Amino acid sequence: MKDKRVDAYIAKSAEFAKPILTHLRELVHRACPEVEEKIKWGFPNFDYKGVMCNMAAFKQHCAFGFWKASLLNDPKGILATVDQNSMGHFDRITSLKDLPSDKILLGFIKQAVELNERKIKRPVRVTPKGLKTIDTPDYLAKALRKDKTSAEIFENFAYSHRKEYIQWFEEAKTEETRNKRIAQAIEWISEGKGRNWKYEKKSRNGKS
């Protein structure tokens, strides 16, 4: 079942993203004709007897991910994310060429369908003793509540990425400076970027 809100989401996305999102959407429906589309956290989700997968478009890349990725059979490690700052399981998708073959994608989607049919749940993550955690300041939590997409991405960031952002805010000498940093951070977070994404990008390109 298609949702007009997803049509609108694709229509307002950047030109490079439209064919990517359209193709991914078609593959999901081909693998699971009974799939139901929904908008959750500000981007398209595909449900079939529970959450199955989702896709999103940002300014310069797209993302596609599976809710139960850890349970999918992936002997070649295709779902292993190299870019830890990216959302989804195929790193930053900038064109159809960045995606695996239709056969591979359909295989993953069908596996996701089967997991939901069998009512297999994602394993519960138990926090290991001594694992580092960091509390989200009230002022940041308030800002994130206004942007569900950024809130979801920030929640799934690694401890180090959350810490880098929070330290940046805490180091601000005035409330005005802090608010400016938060506004900039929300934009970066919504694109799946860590606080030091510019530096990390240069490092990956072999620049100092």
Residues ≥6 apart with Cβ < 8 Å to 7: none
Regarding whether 40 and 98 lie in a shared domain, the answer is yes
Residues ≥6 apart with Cβ < 8 Å to 168: 181, 185, 195
Task: Note whether 63 and 56 are within 8 A (CB).
Answer: yes
Instruction: Tell whether 180 is covered by a domain.
Output: yes
Domain count, the chain: 2
Per-residue pLDDT of the chain (208 residues; tens, 9 = 90+): 889 999 999 999 999 999 999 999 999 999 999 999 998 877 899 999 988 999 999 888 998 989 888 899 998 888 876 554 456 788 789 999 999 999 999 999 999 999 999 999 876 555 455 556 677 888 888 888 888 888 888 888 878 888 889 888 888 888 788 889 999 999 898 888 888 877 755 544 554 4
- Fill in the amino acid letter for 101: S
Regarding whether 162 and 93 lie in a shared domain, the answer is no
Of 178, 183, 184, 180, which is closest to residue 196 (Cα–Cα)? Answer: 184
Q: Which domain holds residue 93?
A: 4-117
Can you give the pLDDT at residue 91?
79
- Fill in the amino acid letter for 187: E
Can you give the pLDDT at residue 93?
92
Regarding whether 113 and 16 lie in a shared domain, the answer is yes
Of 105, 73, 112, which is closest to residue 90 (Cα–Cα)? Answer: 105
How far is residue 161's CA from residue 196's CA, in Å, rounded to a whole number?
A: 8
Asked which of 62, 86, 117 is the last residue of a domain, the reply is 117
